[in-house]
């Protein structure tokens, strides 16, 4: 199975400041169809996960543009340009390239300093 | 509006069984692969099982193979997870999720399964 490794696992941030989360995969996430199926999810305290980003850099409907995804191959990044209080929660990367065992990273907990 | 509503969780003894249900609405259920994803208390997310639109393909994480069965009823817009021979380590919130673009674009609110004596 593809192993997804996130860092850091805990990220204290100051309101209004940027934040960045790294996700690395044990194998390339480039699919035979040419797409890279790397996704990012946000899970606020007490809530279900919500998808933010799909195929590396595509924001889902309703996701603020302060969230952006980038990367290629095995290295990916989620950036929050200016952290707001509502961004507190755990962020997960997930690969959808290697079917059927889609795997998640361990999660990165974002909290306000 | 897409909605996924899980039910059927509860407390069960090791070796027991439970059947989870997920009621879908707001989209053409029969057009999508569907999945179950679980989250143990205080832990991360783990894919459990996938099912194709016509039930012709089903996949499971190794730890539940032979014990769990995913199924669906497209006429009732419902997804199911039959869980047998439950173990303490199966304790988790179980989420129903819609598959789209090799990802999960909608999730239910989850149902808690607790396996304990």
Interfacial residues of B (vs A; Cβ cutoff 8 Å): 44-47, 50, 59, 61, 95, 101-105, 107-110
Inter-chain touch A51–B44, beta carbons under 8 Å = no
Span B52-90, pLDDT tens digits: 999 999 999 999 999 999 999 999 999 999 999 999 999
Candidate from A37, A41, A103 with C-beta closest to B102? A37
Inter-chain touch B47–A41, beta carbons under 8 Å = no
**Residue whose token pair is 């279900």:** A48
What residues of chain A score a pLDDT lower than 50?
none
Span A54-78, pLDDT tens digits: 999 999 999 999 999 999 999 999 9
Classify B6 as helix, strand or coil. strand
Dump the DSSP string for A6-42. EE-SEEEE-TTS-EEEEEEESS--B-TTS-B-EEEEE
């Amino acid at each position: 199975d593809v192993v997804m490794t996130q860092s850091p696992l805990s990220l204290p941030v100051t309101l209004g400041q940027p934040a960045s989360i790294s996700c690395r995969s044990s194998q390339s996430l480039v699919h035979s169809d040419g797409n890279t199926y790397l996704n990012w999810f946000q899970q606020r305290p007490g809530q279900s996960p919500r998808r933010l980003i799909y195929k590396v850099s595509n924001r889902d409907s309703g996701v603020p543009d302060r969230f952006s995804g980038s990367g290629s191959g095995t290295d990916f990044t989620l950036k929050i340009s200016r952290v707001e209080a509502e961004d507190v929660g755990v962020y997960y990367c997930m690969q959808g390239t290697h079917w059927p065992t889609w795997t998640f990273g361990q999660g990165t907990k974002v909290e306000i300093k | 509006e897409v909605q996924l509503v899980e039910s059927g969780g509860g407390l069960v003894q090791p070796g027991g069984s439970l059947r989870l249900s997920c009621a879908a609405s707001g989209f053409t259920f029969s057009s999508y692969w569907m999945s179950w994803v679980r989250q143990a208390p205080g832990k991360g997310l783990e894919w459990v099982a996938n099912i194709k639109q016509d039930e012709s393909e089903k996949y499971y994480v190794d730890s539940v193979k032979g014990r769990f069965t995913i199924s669906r009823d497209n006429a009732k817009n419902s997804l199911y997870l039959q869980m047998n021979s439950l173990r303490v380590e199966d304790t988790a919130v179980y989420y129903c999720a819609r598959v789209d673009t090799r990802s999960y674009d909608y999730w239910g609110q989850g149902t808690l399964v607790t396996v304990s004596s």
